[in-house]
Structure 1
Amino acid sequence: MKPSMPLLVFTDLDGTLLSHSDYRWDAALPALKQLEKIGAGVILASSKTAPEIHQLREDMGLHHWPAIVENGSGRLEAQANAGKTDSIYARLCSVARKISANTGGGFRGFGDMDAREVSDITGLPVPSAALAKQRSFSEPGVWSGTAQEKENFLLALAKEGISGREGGRFLTLSFGGTKADQMERIIAEFAPHHTLALGDAPNDVEMLEAADFGVIIANPNRTPLPLLKGETSGRIQRTTLVGPEGWNAAVLAHIERMKL
């Protein structure tokens, strides 16, 4: 009989496992190695595209685990190369551009930018920014209009079945699906003894609350998340260290606390 997986970790990337300033993750390497040693799984869960996550997953040695891509609107299977589906993305961008034009024109998505522009607003090198533009299910972008125009934009999108979610840097549009939705399916597949989720932004909240244990990673570059269900009981905790340093400390502390 196959032994039960002791722990399955779901983690956001930007501002969580990746540094907000330079996208490095080497500070989290001790915890990643310890997770591998105890037989735990690590699921990357991000608004990033499948091509972006494919490369990161390879670099981190996590290619044998599935990943949650584009904010939960898609999934990259274990060992799989990143493909691209154009039809959903093209329809999403078409509707979003039309509604933006009718509500003040404040939304500018990655599809409206070239790789250099995406590089400038993300801090990614141009080749990595080009991967960020290879989208299949969702469209991140920046908002330049008023708060009222933004509210009107989001209400009009909702009537077309499109949700808008605030992440660490961008407003991301999709036809639905959250990190927690994909998380539920992956948990059913791997049946871990328990789960741990780590994130820093509003689009991580469902994932943090759905896990057995959650960690909010400190990110001084954005407004802190409000008090979440589970914090008063200690099921969800917050770090003082930021980014991958906070991730590393939190994961190692969890492994020790659970005697894994």
Structure 2
Amino acid sequence: MEVVVFTDLDGTLLDHADYAWDAAWPALQRLKQLKIPLVLASSKTAAEIIPLHQQLDLAPAPAIVENGAGIYRPDAGIDTTPSDYQRLRERLSKIDPGLRAHFTGFGDMTPFEIAAATGLSLQQAVRAGNRQFTEPGVWAGSESALAGFIENLDAQGIKARFGGRFLTLSFGRTKAMAMAEVLKDLKADITIALGDAPNDREMLEAATYGVIVRNTKAKPLPQLRGEQAGQIRRTAEEGPKGWNTAVSRLLGELGLDREQDTHG
């Protein structure tokens, strides 16, 4: 049985407040012992993900960056051509100024402002601002203005999706699309996906088993396709603690962790 695990980061594997993953350590170690690839799938940039990927010793597994817009492969790196991001910013400048004024993207912020908005260190904020494909930002307008903003974006070929913290603009690539691409190289009988936000939806629904990790800092996801059938489940615990419990239980259910299967 070949298994691959795909996971969102903020609010899922990483704690929403301090970005710590210590509570997930037991399940992370078990995946490594079982030689099950763990594919990070985040809105974070390659510059942000690569240090964490190395810290967790995940090579040779790839990582999905910027909500599926790019894929980092340890043996090949990632395309550094910034044309997608430049094109997105150019089209964003054509949006109705009255609506555009309510959206502050990372490209509009200094590293200090990104740090303040995210809780990252200044060094981490610089990496977060090193974008290649997508533009996350803060929406400060009304719901009706947001609808107009999204309509304007759509006319420019730009899609908007809420993640755990920000409204992110892209040209439509999703984590599920990148997941399918990764699976062409990583053959798998079973896929497990974990996430907490709307931009994880397609990935969760595409997996053999999807896990919605509880995040009380954001609006709960509506019922997803596959929940009633048990394909998708929800954790009672938040962040990395919920992640650890969910992964451990699934390994037990699959007969890959006999200790958990016996005592869990």
The answer to whether structure 1 residue 190 and structure 2 residue 186 are counterparts is yes
Greater Cα shift, 219-228 or 72-81: 72-81
Q: Given residue 134 of structure 1, which amino acid in structure 2 is its aligned partner?
A: N
Aligned residue in 1 for 2:239: 243
Which residue of 174, 180, 184 corresponds with 2:176?
A: 180
Cα distance in structure 2, aligned partners of 1:256 and 1:44? 22
2:98 paired with 1:95: no
Q: Give the number of equivalent residue pairs.
A: 256
Q: Is the Cα–Cα contact under 8 Å of residues 26 and 244 in structure 1 kept in the other structure?
A: yes
- Cα deviation 1:163-218 (Å, max 9, x = unaligned): 00010000000112100001011112211120000000000000000000000000
- Corresponding residue of 1:154: 150
Q: Distance in 2 between matches of 1:49 and 1:146?
A: 28
Q: Distance in 1 between matches of 2:86 and 2:100?
A: 21
When normalised by structure 1's length, the TM-score is: 0.95
**Equivalent runs, 1:64-213 vs 2, <5 Å:** 64-81=60-77, 84-99=80-95, 101-103=97-99, 105-213=101-209
Secondary structure at the aligned position of 2:94 is classed as helix
C-alpha distance in structure 2 between counterparts of 1:100 and 1:19, whole Å: 36
Please report how far the alpha carbon of residue 82 of structure 1 lies from its aligned counterpart in structure 2 after TM superposition. 5.4
Inter-partner Cα distance in structure 2 for 1:237 and 1:127: 36
2:38 to 37, 42, 54: 42
Task: Supply the AA of the counterpart residue of 1:153.
Answer: F
1:214-245 deviation digits (Å, cap 9, x = unpaired)? 00000010111011111111111100111001
Q: Deviations over 1:2-43 (max 9, x none)?
A: xx6x21000000000000000011111111111111121110
CA deviation profile, 1:59-115 (whole Å, cap 9, x unmatched): 111131111100011111134445632222112112113315253511110000011
**Structure 1 stretch 152-161 or stretch 216-225: which is displaced more?**
152-161
- The separation in 1 between residues aligned to 2:83 and 2:34, in whole angstroms, is 41
- Give the drift of 1:48: 0.2
Note the aligned Cα RMSD (angstroms): 1.3
| CA distance in structure 2 between the aligned counterparts of 1:189 and 1:66, rounded to whole angstroms | 10
**Following the alignment from structure 1 to structure 2, what is the Cα–Cα distance between the partners of residues 91 and 68?**
21
The aligned counterpart of 1:232 is 228
Q: 1:149 to 1:56 in 2, by over 3 A?
A: same
Judge conservation of contact 2:193–2:207 (CA < 8 Å) in 1: yes
Q: Percent identity?
A: 48
Which consecutive unaligned segments of at least 5 residues does structure 1 have?
none
Q: After superposition, give the CA deviation of every residue in 1:152-173 in whole Å (9 maximum; x if it has no partner).
A: 1111111111100010000000
Q: What CA distance in whole angstroms lies between the structure 1 residues aligned with 2:93 and 2:170?
A: 13
CA contact (8 A) 1:9 1:197 kept: yes
Does residue 1:254 correspond to 2:250, yes or no? yes
Assess if the C-alpha contact under 8 Å between 2:71 and 2:78 holds in 1.
no
